[in-house]
Amino acid sequence: MSSIKNYLSLIKFNHTIFALPFALIGYFLGLQASFKHFNIVLFMLVLFCMVFARTAAMAFNRYIDRDIDIKNIRTATREIPAGIITPKSALFFIILNSLLFVITTYFVNTICFYLSPIALLVILGYSYTKRFTHFSHIILGFGLSLAPIGAYLAVTGLFNIIPILLSLTVLFWVSGFDIIYALQDTEFDSKEKLHSIPVLLGKKYALVFSGVLHIICALFIIGLGIYKDFEIFYWFGACIFIGLLIYQHSLVKYTDLKDVNLAFATTNGMASIVFAIFTLCDLWIFGS
């Protein structure tokens, strides 16, 4: 049990809540668009794909960053630098979950199987980006934005503007809140010659940049609602989501970062869950 707990801590399993609700929206949008009935087997395959892909990506991030994490007071207690999980064990865990992801997509459909290596390249490749670009946050956002498109493809096998709009919402949302999270390591990253928006712009203007990304996110939520002609439940969920975006920016000041974790994890986790619940209710009740 202790070993399982350590691995769940390694991959921050509770952070799965960020992208998973959007994947569920993508899945049910796909059902509606294709006039298909709910299929429990396909639904579970989509969930397994999400879990395996995110697990591989997060474990790979911890594996690649182990030599950096041990130098940082905030991250030195993570499982690999602390010696709780060995690098060899972590690497095996990454390979296992990557293979399970690809194998699972094979049972979903052909297009998901063919695209699975590209998806892995994006979500694993993100871990290298802060070594050469300040826009690693955008790459992370892009990686998580694949969730709703992937779930939609799993059902329909086709691309569509609606899941793309949903994915763009995720891209700008995640990119924005990852910048807020990165504020904690501005001085360390600068000293170690690592790249981030806070290093590039400083904490004050990094928060401004994060706010701009979240304004764009809100515009995509509004655009999706208009384009899809959603009803009242969607708009209620959208208002709460946008309200929580505003709230998280009220929590964090560039001179005071004590509430970063509340803004990053709690607020964004609530935002994704609430938005998904109301959107799915709208699809179920009104068939938007």
- Choose between 142 and 13: higher pLDDT: 142
**pLDDT band with cut points at 50, 70 and 90 for residue 275:** very high
**pLDDT band with cut points at 50, 70 and 90 for residue 144:** very high
Mean pLDDT of 136-140: 97
Q: CATH fold of 2-286, please?
A: Tetracycline Repressor; domain 2 (1.10.357)
Mean pLDDT for all residues in the chain: 95
Q: What is the pLDDT of residues 98-132, one digit of tens each?
A: 999 999 999 999 999 999 999 999 999 999 999 99
Q: Flag whether pLDDT at 77 surpasses 90.
A: yes
Alpha helices in 65-202 (DSSP H): 66-69, 87-106, 110-129, 136-156, 161-182, 186-191, 197-201
Residue 288: its pLDDT value, please?
Answer: 61
Domain positions in the chain are 2-286
pTM attached to this predicted model: 0.95
Mean pLDDT of 185-204: 97
Residues 6+ apart with CB under 8 A from 160: 33, 152
Distance CA 96, CA 282 (A): 38
Query: What share of the chain in percent tops pLDDT 90?
Result: 90
Residues forming beta bridges with residue 256, ordered by sequence position: 253
Which of 10-24, 74-88, 89-103, 167-181 is predicted with the least confidence, judged by mean pLDDT?
Answer: 10-24
Q: Flag whether pLDDT at 1 surpasses 80.
A: no
CA distances from 18 to 21, 135, 190, 211 (A): 7, 20, 28, 18
Residue 3: its pLDDT value, please?
Answer: 85
Q: What is the dihedral of CA 228, 231, 235, 236, to 10 degrees?
A: -150
Tokens of 134: 């300040």
Mean pLDDT of 225-230: 96
Mean pLDDT of 219-237: 97
